[in-house]
């Protein structure tokens, strides 16, 4: 078990800042044990804005290195609704529209270059992997349930989150009453970490 802290000069979505990455190796991390994952903090140059904080566990879906950039794929509250933080990015905080979480990418351009970006990316990936999140999911979508918006909701709101988190998904649309029961009865559950239903209560009842 150990704590890891790294600080770097960066540009966050184009704005100069100093960022600190704090990661914790939880007990049993090597065996897939859970932990809080740590956090990523940054403050805009000049110190006028409040410090921005992303919890790797609660806010970050995934991370990707692109040259000297680290792209943090987040699912966060609007900046003006989160009392703990204000984003460095220009225009953030306008039109908050309530406290519903939204997908957002934070691009950290590392002043130290590609090696630093790769190191930060690897460290964050290791922390995310230690959380024990599902990697393979089977999705049942009922396009006829509720207001017949099941497929639209999945494509627009749910699928992008799984893609950002690097989750492998198998999606099956139900075509008639009882179809979900047939699919579930023949499913090899060992291939998946979980089953997700996008529907009204009909699929769950089946």
- Active site members: 201
CA distances from 64 to 4, 54, 73, 154, 193 (A): 19, 16, 8, 24, 23
Number of Cα atoms under 13 Å in the Cβ half of residue 125: 13
Describe the strand order of the beta sheet including 60-66 as a list of residue ranges. Answer: 52-55, 39-44, 15-25, 2-12, 102-110, 69-76, 60-66
Instruction: Identify the three-state secondary structure at position 180.
Output: helix
């Amino acid at each position: 078990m150990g704590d890891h802290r790294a600080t770097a000069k960066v540009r966050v979505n184009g704005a100069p800042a100093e960022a600190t990455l704090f990661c914790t190796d939880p007990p049993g991390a090597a065996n897939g044990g859970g932990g809080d994952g740590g956090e990523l903090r940054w403050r805009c140059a000049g110190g006028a804005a409040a410090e921005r904080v992303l919890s790797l566990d609660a806010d970050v879906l995934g991370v990707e290195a692109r040259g000297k950039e680290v792209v943090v794929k987040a699912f966060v509250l609007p900046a003006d609704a989160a009392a703990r933080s204000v984003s460095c990015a220009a225009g953030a905080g306008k039109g908050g529209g309530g406290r519903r979480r939204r997908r957002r990418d934070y691009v950290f351009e590392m002043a130290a270059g590609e090696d630093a970006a790769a190191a930060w990316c690897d460290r964050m990936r290791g922390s995310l992997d230690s959380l024990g999140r599902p990697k393979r999911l089977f999705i049942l979508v009922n396009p006829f349930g509720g207001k017949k918006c099941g497929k639209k909701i999945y494509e627009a709101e749910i699928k992008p989150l799984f893609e950002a988190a690097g989750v492998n998904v198998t999606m099956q649309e139900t075509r008639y009453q009882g179809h979900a029961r047939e699919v579930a009865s023949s499913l090899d559950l060992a291939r998946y970490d979980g089953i997700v239903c996008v529907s009204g209560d009909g699929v769950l009842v089946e």
